[in-house]
């Protein structure tokens, strides 16, 4: 029986609490070697709402850490990366007053439109906050809660993001970080402070918000609750949003584009320049260090493709080329393009269309939206021919890889490391031990290394066909289907 080599450095734990599950890695801080890992799922409501019970995130964190075995107990530091934007409203006893409203819950679309108008339009928001808030942003969710469930809003004594909630349960202190707070809509990226005028517009008392920790800060130590397999004194790093954590985990340098295929699909790059896209396509997030993370996000990515595969009774890899079917896979409404009320649309069916071609059309529809935003995400300094880094659960799939190559015409690099959000959190935890920049630690660990797939000729005909259907279907896409 072989035993794994002893760790060369202290052990650290990186956590990824994403939409569908929580994953934990115990990592050797000296080498980046994953010593142990664990994962546990959580539930998301179906139907119109997308909500989760934060207690399930905590239970999943405990379960994932227990799956890691004794290694977790040896860890010297821990950090949590989490799904962005979710509204966690806590009452006086520290428990949620209701389930969390998640990033992909589009019920606050009317509040988003209203807020954009009240502050003076998209440009006013982009200049001040860096983003034009759509229904994913926390500020619109709070406005929705205040309007639809005023008693819950009144009972709220603390407002947190998902990673803040878990970090606070670890330490007992209410903290957030620059990366995740930049997705709330109430943090002014121009001044890097909470925006009291915007908070006033939605009636949210700033004292309910967590302190924004500095990069590299120790925000506390793990409290001894007995539920977690940590030793007393384990340090807690600030944590961050999951995309900012993956940027750390890749050791991303400015200008290198990342395409992430998970529950959400995202495309982003680190930039030295503060983003201010008034079209609303690019969210002007901060990264977890001191730079920026312009990002575009789609709501319908791997789950929409997997749903189409299930409906067609196909394996997700059973795609076929050819045909002229176009599928706009907006099963959850969509964020990019900004069509929160849209549903999926299929066009171009013929007698000879095959099930495999329909499945390919679902992949094409998702990747078309991400690549359409790529040029807007990249700033003037970016190298437009460098490989796209492909990450997230979908990056393991041959059909996803080939679709991205075919529709981008660019080389694609697939890092061998699987859990880049958790690795980024681990690098942040290592950084609080050594004082190093977490991205530099991840580069030393070699987390972005992996095969580079050669470019193939860009399939301009498919891109043009999808753009054509998108524009022709506009009247159908701005409203929910009849009968809903
Ligand atoms: N081998 C694979 N090939 C293609 N897709 C995969 C594969 N493994 C997982 N996936 C997809 O990845 C998704 C989960 O991605 P992940 O990045 O872990 O999600 P999350 O955004 O919740 O962190 C699943 O919905 C599944 O469709
Ligand atoms: O809303 C965004 C980014 O703005 C999403 O990327 C969420 O952060 C959810 O992430 P996953 O669960 O897909 O990792």
CA–centroid distance, residue 243 to ligand 2 (Å): 7
Write the pLDDT tens digit of every residue in 270-328. Answer: 999 999 999 999 999 999 999 999 999 999 999 999 999 999 999 999 999 999 999 99
Whether ligand 1 lies within 6 angstroms of the CB of 220 is answered as: no
Catalytic residue among 177, 242, 364, 437: 242
CA–centroid distance, residue 221 to ligand 1 (Å): 32
- The rounded Cα 315 to chain-centroid distance in angstroms is 26
Whether ligand 1 lies within 6 angstroms of the CB of 306 is answered as: yes
Average pLDDT over residues 16-41: 97
Average pLDDT over residues 224-248: 93
pLDDT band at 4 (very low <50, low <70, confident <90, very high): low
Whether ligand 1 lies within 6 angstroms of the CB of 162 is answered as: no
Write the pLDDT tens digit of every residue in 346-402. Answer: 999 999 999 999 999 999 999 999 999 999 999 888 888 889 999 999 999 999 999
In the residue annotation, 242 being an active-site residue is answered as: yes
CA–centroid distance, residue 74 to ligand 2 (Å): 30
Q: Which two tokens stand for residue 64?
A: 């994932």
Report how far residue 231's alpha carbon sits from residue 221's, in angstroms, rounded to the nearest whole number: 10
Burial per residue of 443-467, b for 16 or more beta-carbon CB atoms within 10 angstroms, e otherwise: bebebbebeebebeeebeebbebbe
Q: Which residues contact 53 (CB under 8 A, 6 or more apart)?
A: 42, 43, 96, 99, 100
Ligand 1: which of 302, 305, 367, 399 to mutate, judged by most atoms within 8 Å of the beta carbon?
A: 302
392 alpha carbon, closest ligand: 1
Q: Which residues contact 151 (CB under 8 A, 6 or more apart)?
A: none
Among the atoms of ligand 1, which is closest to the Cα of residue 305?
Answer: 27
Contact predicate 260/249, CB 8 Å: no
CA-closest candidate to residue 302, choices 264, 356, 255, 340: 264
Is 85 known to sit in a ligand binding site? Answer: yes
Contact predicate 230/75, CB 8 Å: yes
Among the atoms of ligand 1, which is closest to the Cα of residue 261?
Answer: 17
CA–centroid distance, residue 31 to ligand 2 (Å): 28
DSSP secondary structure letters along 426-478? HHHHHHHHH---HHHHHHHHTTT--PEEPP----HHHHHHHHHHHHHTHHHHT
Task: Say yes or no to pLDDT of 480 above 90.
Answer: no
Is 8 known to sit in a ligand binding site? Answer: no
Among the atoms of ligand 1, which is closest to the Cα of residue 316?
Answer: 4
Enter the DSSP assignment of 264. S
Residue 207: count other Cβ atoms within 10 Å of its Cβ: 7
Mean pLDDT for the chain overall: 96
422 alpha carbon, closest ligand: 1
Q: Which two tokens stand for residue 227?
A: 């539920």
Report how far residue 400's alpha carbon sits from residue 366's, in angstroms, rounded to the nearest whole number: 10
CA-closest candidate to residue 93, choices 157, 138, 180, 181: 157
What residue spans define the domains of the chain? 11-244, 247-420+448-478
Q: How far is CA 64 from CA 56, 75, 197, 202, in A?
A: 12, 14, 40, 37
Write the pLDDT tens digit of every residue in 408-445. Answer: 999 999 999 999 999 999 999 999 999 999 999 999 99
Among the atoms of ligand 2, which is closest to the Cα of residue 283?
Answer: 4
Ligand 1: which of 393, 397, 401 to mutate, judged by most atoms within 8 Å of the beta carbon?
A: 393
At the fourth CATH level, the homologous superfamily of domain 11-244 is ATPase, nucleotide binding domain (3.30.420.40)
Whether ligand 1 lies within 6 angstroms of the CB of 263 is answered as: yes
Sign of CA dihedral 454, 458, 462, 465: positive
pLDDT band at 10 (very low <50, low <70, confident <90, very high): very high
CA–centroid distance, residue 374 to ligand 2 (Å): 17
Q: Which residues contact 379 (CB under 8 A, 6 or more apart)?
A: 255, 269, 271, 272, 273, 275, 294
Which is it for strands 258-261 and 193-194: parallel, antiparallel or unpaired? Answer: unpaired
pLDDT band at 2 (very low <50, low <70, confident <90, very high): very low
Write the pLDDT tens digit of every residue in 57-97. Answer: 999 999 999 999 999 999 999 999 999 999 999 999 999 99
CATH topology of domain 247-420+448-478: Nucleotidyltransferase; domain 5 (3.30.420)
């Amino acid at each position: 029986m072989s035993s794994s080599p002893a760790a060369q450095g202290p052990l650290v734990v990186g956590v990824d609490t994403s939409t569908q599950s929580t994953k934990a890695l115990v990592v050797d801080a000296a080498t980046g070697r994953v010593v142990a890992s664990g994962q546990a799922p959580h539930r998301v409501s179906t139907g119109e709402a997308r909500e989760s019970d934060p207690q399930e995130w905590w239970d999943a964190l405990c379960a994932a850490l227990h799956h890691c075995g004794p290694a977790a107990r040896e860890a010297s530091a821990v950090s949590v990366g989490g799904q962005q934007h979710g509204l966690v409203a806590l009452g006086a006893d520290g428990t949620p007053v209701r389930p969390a409203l998640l990033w992909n819950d589009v019920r606050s679309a009317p509040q988003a439109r209203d807020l954009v108008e009240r502050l003076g339009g998209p440009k006013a928001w982009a200049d001040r906050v860096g983003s034009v808030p759509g229904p994913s942003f926390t500020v619109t969710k709070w406005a929705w809660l205040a309007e639809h469930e005023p008693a819950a809003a009144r009972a709220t004594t603390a407002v947190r993001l998902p990673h803040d909630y878990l970090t606070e349960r670890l330490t007992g202190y209410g903290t957030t970080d620059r990366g995740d707070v930049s997705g709330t809509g109430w943090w002014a990226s121009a001044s890097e402070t909470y925006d009291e005028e915007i908070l006033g517009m939605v009636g949210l008392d700033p004292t309910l918000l967590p302190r924004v920790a500095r990069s590299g800060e120790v925000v506390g130590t793990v409290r001894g609750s007995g539920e977690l397999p940590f030793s007393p004194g384990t340090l807690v790093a600030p944590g961050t949003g999951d995309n900012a954590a993956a940027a750390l985990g890749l050791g991303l340098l400015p200008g290198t584009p990342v395409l992430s295929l998970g529950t959400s699909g995202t495309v982003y790059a680190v930039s030295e320049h503060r983003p201010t896209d008034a079209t609303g396509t690019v969210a002007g997030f901060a990264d977890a260090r001191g730079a920026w993370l312009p990002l575009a996000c789609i709501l319908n990515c791997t789950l929409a493709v997997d749903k189409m595969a299930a409906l067609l009774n196909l394996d997700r890899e059973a795609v076929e080329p050819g045909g002229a079917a176009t599928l706009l896979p907006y099963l959850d409404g969509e964020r990019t393009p900004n069509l929160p009320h849209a549903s999926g649309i299929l066009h171009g069916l013929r007698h000879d269309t095959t099930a495999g071609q329909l499945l390919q059309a679902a992949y094409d529809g998702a990747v078309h939206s991400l690549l359409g935003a790529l040029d807007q995400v990249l700033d003037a300094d970016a190298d437009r021919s460098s490989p796209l880094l492909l990450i997230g659960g979908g990056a393991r799939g041959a059909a996803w890889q080939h679709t991205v190559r075919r529709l981008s015409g660019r080389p694609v690099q697939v890092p061998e490391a699987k859990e880049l959000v958790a690795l980024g959190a681990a690098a942040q935890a290592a950084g609080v031990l050594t004082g190093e920049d977490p991205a530099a630690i991840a580069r030393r660990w070699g987390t972005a290394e992996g095969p580079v797939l050669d470019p193939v000729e860009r399939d301009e005909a498919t891109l043009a066909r999808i753009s054509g259907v998108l524009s022709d279907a506009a009247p159908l896409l701005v409203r929910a289907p009849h009968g809903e």
